Amino acid sequence: MITATTSEAKDFPHYQVQPASRENPRVVSAEDVEVFERNNPALRGIGAIMLEHGIWVLAEGSHAGGGEA
């Protein structure tokens, strides 16, 4: 579950998202992982590591392995 709070900084509302952890993993789809890695080429491959360590978990119905190698 992603825990978020709303705050006002200089009259601009924004969300503060709590970092993902094993105790509070981020539920992601396989597409989320692919898009994240495509938009952050320096972090290519991090999705598999985050999933392996339980920091991210795949949403029900989402299948791993359809992305770039």
Tokens at residue 32, please?
């989320």
CB 28 within 8 A of CB 63: no
Question: Is the pTM for the entire model greater than 0.95?
Answer: no
pLDDT in tens, 11-41: 666 667 788 999 999 999 999 999 999 999 9
